[in-house]
């Protein structure tokens, strides 16, 4: 949907085609038995005991060719890392990827292979310090876990609190281990959190974190599922908020790591909002003008396929939703979360 | 869950002749708060860091010198447990006697020690939080077949239940907290709600779309 939209606007540039990563390379972050199991069932083999790898349930069903698909996604994100390392680009957008729930030996939450961790590993092997920022509404548990005691990688995840949302992790007290201590930051927000809370997190947590850590590059998981229309979660970002967040992140990258930033997509389950959010990201990164309206052809075509009404503008119309009764309380709780996190890490950030 | 699954193995122990100051330092160095006291391979007493601090406090009625033998102040006889005891029995013992630890004896031999921290860890494990999952809290009628009806709903959607925790609620109802490995907890909650169960978590789950 996204690509058709960009094509309709005549702004779509053919992307650089990645090669799928090969299974052996994935052993840098995944268990070889896990990789084996995925590769085999993906080519039609029937295996017993794959439940322990989290495969074959409703979130991670088995389908033919899924391994190749996942490896192609990893290839794309790793290619993005290489473009930054080789100085061929400063800002890279991978039009896919973002599989942050994939663990060392466990498929979870629609994720098989962790493209983000592979890309970060590529950068770390090049001697870089890498900051990872995850704005998907779900906690970036797979990435955090793989680098939990790694002193070269800072992970920051802004998500709806695990009390309410999958995967039930990403608490304030998860601060990292050993040399990774104070480098793993989690901001669990109240359900129905709005843009203001996100901006405050960016200003009071992300900004000081990046300026203290001074990464060589920033990797961003730009999940669109914190949008108010998303059916899987509760947070209430509008497209206007997303635009501001994207611009802010790019500004931080310019100031803290010489502009080197790799964006991936991520979760986003509202078919009417997600393409508009990622189109914004594409337009911003390419310094293009923002069209006010969506192309009529595109809108009609997809409305027929989806059986849903798509707004006729790129941005959400405001006010986008009714005022939340608990608004002030939510804001207060989120402020407190920020304060507690900064209190915990400030003793380390010297 | 049994004591052997949660206890510390090979606990540090001391002899009755150990001085208060040595005992105190041993606790400090190992970051522990309880030491069993062993004589001729038998457990003869136990001492906590609080016991040692109170015994040497200026505020105590009789303040002991740092060189005093631990046998002067140790608690005995000692409440104990065994590896095959269910943890719920041990917890009741600890609550009854208001103590923070139980030495674990097997055939009179000290084989482990279990503390409040071990039991909290066990509790946490039972809640299933260590696995990527969503939380579902349902209030049920406390009668045959209710849980089966509910779990069938979940199974029919090919969702794995990672853990189940239940406890009695008011008015003869039962509360059941599941951890289910799915991102789509809300559609699931809706289906359960529509099947006439009372869903308490995720909050604000509403029945009909
Ligand atoms: Zn997500």
Q: Quick one: pLDDT at residue A237? A: 98
Boundary of a domain, candidates B123, B154, B176: B123
Cβ(A269)–Cβ(A349) below 8 Å: no
Cβ(B146)–Cβ(B153) below 8 Å: no
Instruction: State the pairing for strand pair A91-94/A217-221.
Output: unpaired
B32 domain residue, yes or no: yes
Say yes or no: B66 and B13 in one domain.
yes
Say yes or no: B175 and B76 in one domain.
no
Q: Where are the domains of chain A?
A: 2-349
Q: Is the pLDDT of residue B208 over 80?
A: no
Q: How far is CA A100 from CA A63, A113, A251, A260, B35, in A?
A: 20, 9, 24, 20, 45
Q: Which residues of A touch B (CB under 8 A)?
A: 51, 54, 57-59, 61, 101, 103, 106, 108-110, 138, 141, 163-169, 191, 231-232
Cβ(A192)–Cβ(A160) below 8 Å: no
pTM of the model: 0.88
Find, in chain A, the residue whose alpha carbon is nearest to that of B133: A167
B179/A103 CB distance under 8 A: no
**Residue A309 burial by CB count (10 A; 0-12/13-18/19+): exposed, middle or buried?**
exposed
A57/B183 CB distance under 8 A: no
pLDDT in tens, chain A (350 residues): 999 999 999 999 999 999 999 999 999 999 999 999 999 999 999 999 999 999 999 999 999 999 999 999 999 999 999 999 999 999 999 999 999 999 999 999 999 999 999 999 999 999 999 999 999 999 999 999 999 999 999 999 999 999 889 999 999 999 999 999 999 999 999 999 999 999 999 999 999 999 999 999 999 999 999 999 999 999 999 999 999 999 999 999 999 999 999 999 999 999 999 999 999 999 999 999 999 999 999 999 999 999 999 999 999 999 999 998 899 999 999 999 999 999 999 989 98
Say yes or no: B108 and B179 in one domain.
no
Strand, helix or coil at A315? coil
Catalytic-residue membership of A301: no
Say yes or no: B69 and B145 in one domain.
no
Say yes or no: B60 and B139 in one domain.
no
B86 domain residue, yes or no: yes
Instruction: Annotate A147-176 with b (16+ C-beta within 10 A) or e (fewer).
Output: bbebebbbbbbbbbbbebbbbbbbebebbb
Number of domains in chain B: 2
B58 domain residue, yes or no: yes
Nearest to A105 by CA among A185, A37, A42, A175: A37
Q: Which residues of B touch A (CB under 8 A)?
A: 129, 132-135, 157-160, 179, 181-187, 201-203
A-chain residues within 8 Å CB-CB of B133? 166-168
Cβ(A155)–Cβ(A201) below 8 Å: no
- CATH code assigned at B41: 3.10.580.10
Say yes or no: B86 and B143 in one domain.
no
A-chain residues within 8 Å CB-CB of B125? none
Write the CB contacts of A350 (distance below 8 Å, at least 6 apart in sequence).
none
Q: Write out the E strands in B22-81.
A: 34-39, 42-48
Boundary of a domain, candidates B79, B102, B123: B123
pLDDT per residue as tens digits for the range B53-82: 999 999 988 899 999 999 999 999 999 999
Going from the Cα of A138 to the center of ligand 1, the distance in angstroms, rounded, reads: 4
ipTM: 0.73
Boundary of a domain, candidates B87, B104, B123: B123
Which residue range is the domain that position B59 belongs to? 3-123
Output the six-digit token pair for B64: 């002991």
Assess if CATH 3.40.800.20 describes domain A2-349. yes
Say yes or no: B137 and B180 in one domain.
yes
Residues in chain A: 350
Say yes or no: B32 and B114 in one domain.
yes
Find, in chain A, the residue whose alpha carbon is nearest to that of B202: A164
């Amino acid at each position: 949907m996204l690509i058709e939209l960009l094509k309709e606007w005549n702004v779509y540039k053919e992307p650089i085609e990645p090669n799928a990563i090969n299974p052996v390379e994935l052993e840098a972050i995944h268990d070889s038995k896990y990789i084996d199991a995925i590769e085999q069932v993906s080519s039609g083999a029937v295996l017993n005991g794959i439940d322990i790898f989290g495969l074959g349930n409703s979130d991670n069903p088995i389908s033919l060719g899924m391994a190749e698909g996942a490896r192609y996604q990893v290839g794309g994100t790793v290619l993005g890392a290489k473009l930054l390392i080789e100085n061929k680009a400063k800002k890279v957008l991978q039009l896919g990827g973002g599989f942050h729930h994939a663990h060392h030996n466990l498929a979870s939450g629609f994720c098989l292979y962790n493209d983000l961790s592979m890309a970060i590993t590529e950068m770390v092997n090049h001697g870089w310090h890498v900051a990872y920022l995850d704005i998907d509404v779900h906690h970036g548990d797979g990435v955090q876990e793989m680098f939990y005691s790694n002193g070269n990688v800072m992970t920051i995840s802004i998500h709806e609190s695990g009390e309410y949302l999958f995967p039930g992790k990403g608490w304030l007290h998860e601060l990292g281990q050993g040399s990774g201590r104070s480098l793993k930051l989690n901001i669990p927000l109240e359900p129905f959190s709005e843009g203001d809370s996100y901006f405050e997190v960016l200003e009071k947590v992300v900004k000081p974190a990046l300026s203290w850590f001074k990464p060589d590059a920033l990797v961003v998981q730009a999940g669109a599922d914190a949008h108010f229309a998303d059916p899987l979660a509760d947070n209430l970002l509008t497209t206007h908020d997303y635009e501001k967040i994207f611009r802010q992140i790019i500004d931080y990258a310019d100031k803290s790591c010489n502009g080197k930033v790799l964006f991936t997509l991520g979760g986003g389950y509202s078919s009417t909002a997600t393409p508009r959010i990622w189109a914004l990201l594409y337009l911003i990164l390419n310094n293009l003008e923002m069209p006010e309206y969506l192309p009529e052809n595109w809108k009609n075509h997809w409305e027929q396929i989806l059986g849903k009404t798509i707004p006729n503008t790129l941005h959400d119309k405001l006010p986008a939703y009714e005022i939340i009764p608990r608004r002030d309380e939510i804001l207060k709780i989120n402020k407190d979360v920020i304060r507690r996190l900064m209190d915990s890490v400030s003793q380390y950030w010297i | 869950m049994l004591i052997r699954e949660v206890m510390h193995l090979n606990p540090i122990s001391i002899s009755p002749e150990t001085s208060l100051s040595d005992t105190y330092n041993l606790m400090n160095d190992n970051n522990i708060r309880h030491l069993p006291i062993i004589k001729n391979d038998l457990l003869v007493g136990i001492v906590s860091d609080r016991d040692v601090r109170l015994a040497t406090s200026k505020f105590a009625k009789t303040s002991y010198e740092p060189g005093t033998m631990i046998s002067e102040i140790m608690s005995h006889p000692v409440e104990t447990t065994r590896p095959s005891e269910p943890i719920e029995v041990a917890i009741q013992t600890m609550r009854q006697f208001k103590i923070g630890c139980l030495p674990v004896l097997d055939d009179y031999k000290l084989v482990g020690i279990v503390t409040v921290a071990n039991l909290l860890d066990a509790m946490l494990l039972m809640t299933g939080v260590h696995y990527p999952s969503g939380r579902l809290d349902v209030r049920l009628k406390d009668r045959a077949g209710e849980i089966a009806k509910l779990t069938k709903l979940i199974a029919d959607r090919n969702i794995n239940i990672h853990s189940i925790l239940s406890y009695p609620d008011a008015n003869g109802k039962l509360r059941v907290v599941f951890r289910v490995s799915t991102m789509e907890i809300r559609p699931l909650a809706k289906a359960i709600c529509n099947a006439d169960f009372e869903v308490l978590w995720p909050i604000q789950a509403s029945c009909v779309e």
